[in-house]
Amino acid sequence: MKHVPTGLYFQPHKHRGSHLSKHGKIYQTKSNGIETGNYGHKTFRIACQEGSQIHKLTKDILNWDEGHRYSYGQIYAETEFTDWVKEEI
């Protein structure tokens, strides 16, 4: 799944990681975190470590909630589902 405004890809992350990556994740099934996590919402929340390379690359594009720190110092941004496209290999 590619986030069109940033050109980065979705990936699941562990505690200090980021949901955005230059490489992304290959899904061998039809399910992925974005399409299965919709549940009727209009936005999809992504996380990254504040001050990380991904945060620096996207801070002018995404509206990171820098006023609040979550687990392991991560910050969150809400993205529109329409900002994501599925890329087939």
The domain spans of the chain are 2-85
Asked if residues 21 and 77 have their Cβ atoms less than 8 Å apart, the reply is: no
Closest to 52 (Cα-Cα) out of 23, 11, 16, 10: 16
Q: How confident is the model at residue 35 (pLDDT cuts 50, 70, 90)?
A: low
Q: pTM above the 0.85 mark?
A: no
Alpha carbon distance 83, 89 (integer Å)? 19
Q: 86, 68, 74, 69: which is closest to 32 by C-alpha?
A: 86
pLDDT over 70 at 16, yes or no: yes
Residue whose tokens read 């110092």: 73
Q: Are 61 and 6 in contact (CB under 8 A)?
A: yes
Q: Is the pLDDT of residue 50 over 80?
A: yes
